[in-house]
Amino acid sequence: MTTVTTVAMPLITKDRPSVQAGLESAIQRYVASNPRSAEVYAAASQHLPAGNTRTTIFTDPFPLAIKSASGSQITSVDDRAYTDLLGEYTAGIYGHSHPSIVAAVTEGLRHGINFGATSPFEAELAALIKQRFACAGLELVRFTNSGTEANLMAVTTARAFTGRSTILVFNNGYHGAVQSWRNPSASAPTNIPGDYIMAPYNDPSAVESILASIPPDSLAGVLVEPMQGAGGSFPASPDFLRFLRAKTEKLGALLIFDEVMTSRLHYSGGLSGKYGIRPDLITMGKYLGGGMSFGLFGGRRDVLSLYNPKCGGHVSADNHKYGPNAPKTLAHSGTFNNNIVTMCAGIAGAKLLNQQVLDAINDLGDSLRQSLSTLFASRGITQPPSPAGLTDPDINHVSRGAIWISGIGSIMTVHFGVNDELHDLRDLYWFYLLENGFYIARRGFITLAMTSTKKEIDSFVKVTENFLDEWSHAIQA
Ligand code: PMP
């Protein structure tokens, strides 16, 4: 089965000039209502490019500056409160300032800030994470400070373990600041150099032919998100992931699942666990650090043993522990890898997230997608969702139109244009949501948290309905 993630015949809005005029006046209202945010931006711009140190959260003409947050609410320096449906791009699953996490961090700090030494906390966090992800093949784990670092370490580990160099990645994939293939025509100029090859996502026959064009013993690993997050909440079909599992096994390469975002979509083992597919290595991060800086890579014991100075590295039947051919132990350092604040926050977070809690967040997400899809269908913008459509992770079964929604559970993206080409309409929606007290990513990305409620979701759907009413003349059904 060949599947693609773009659709021919992009839609245009019916009344583009009116959308552009509407956007211009929405921006004027935004500037007028957020003078303190504008001041923060102007001051910050003297020291940081565009007043910013995180490209994802930069928005034109200037971002909202937030001064405080609690539960599901964030408040700007202009004293405007918003219901947060962005959830810190999946890291904020506990809601803001959860009392258990605040207490754990405060208690942790009583012991000290950083020891420059091992503490009991890292083993406790590792054990809690393994308890959830052992079924995804997490036998040993190493901590990092971010998902970006975790993926760098994972591909480096695959290269070291196999003695090969090529990593297969996918169009539109995102694995952190320096391994991004969001632009399908080229690797980002900020990417690290290296031997990467790229294939279309969800397309086994394309992968077959690309792999057939390289020497069979050159592939070190395949790095894939089970659902592309930053790329627009595009799920991989489980069949595609199974195909990658079989193919990597056959070629002696490592399969790396980047579950930095998706690990929260299923209690036991993330999407790896949900689909019953064991990668060789898995990367995670975000909320698993309890809201502090965090990442991890882990997986097969024999692979992770490369980082064990006691056994001299890679242990396998034909490679005796201390034999002359044993690879040297690899080093993986990081001043803050085991920092006390993250360890304590992560432990508290892991204790908060049981199966029931995660299921509830993901069910709420399913019901939000259901409501929005039904709304779009009722306006003739998309086809009605089939009951299976909501739980069917194949992106090609999702109905697209001028406005449509994709995702799994509590992670989703509202799209504008069948191929995300209606940027004006998307921006207009974003400013409309802000004016009505909802905060999501400008690119339409939404994630829910423990603190998200049915009431909030219903009122978000109502605001979206009002938007459709107001702009129906401009939205092509
Ligand atoms: N991988 C994926 C799938 C991600 O979504 C992200 C972050 N959005 C990263 C890696 C990078 O994580 P971090 O921002 O913690 O470096």
pLDDT tens digit sequence for 154-187: 999 999 999 999 999 999 999 999 999 987 666 7
Mutate to test the pocket of ligand 1, among 55, 144, 148 (most ligand atoms within 8 A of CB): 148
Q: Which tens digits make up the pLDDT trace of 183-203? A: 766 678 899 999 999 999 999
Give the model's pLDDT for residue 90: 98
Which one, of 382, 442, 459, 419, lies nearest residue 64 by Cα?
442
Give the model's pLDDT for residue 71: 98
Average pLDDT of the residues in 225-245 = 97
- pTM for the complete prediction? 0.94
For residue 442, what are the CA distances in angstroms to 89, 266, 290?
Answer: 12, 26, 25
Cα of 148 vs centre of ligand 1, distance in Å, is 6
Ligand 1 atom nearest 225 alpha carbon: 3
Count of beta carbons in the 10 Å neighbourhood of residue 278: 18
**pLDDT at residue 235 greater than cutoff 90:** yes
Q: 198 forms bridges with which residues in the sheet?
A: 169
**pLDDT at residue 392 greater than cutoff 70:** no
Give the model's pLDDT for residue 326: 52
Per the prediction, the chain carries an average pLDDT of 92
3-state secondary structure of 62: coil
Ligand 1 atom nearest 228 alpha carbon: 3
> Nearest residue CA, atom 7 of ligand 1?
176
Average pLDDT of the residues in 11-38 = 90
Cα of 147 vs centre of ligand 1, distance in Å, is 5
Cα of 380 vs centre of ligand 1, distance in Å, is 35
**pLDDT at residue 148 greater than cutoff 50:** yes
CA distance 361 to 399: 24
**pLDDT at residue 322 greater than cutoff 50:** no
Give the model's pLDDT for residue 187: 73
Phi, psi of 435 (to 5 degrees): -65, -25
Provide, rounded to the nearest whole percent, the portion of the chain with pLDDT above 90.
83
Which residues have any ligand 1 atom within 6 Å of their CB? Answer: 89, 146-148, 151, 174-176, 225, 229-230, 258, 260-261, 285, 295
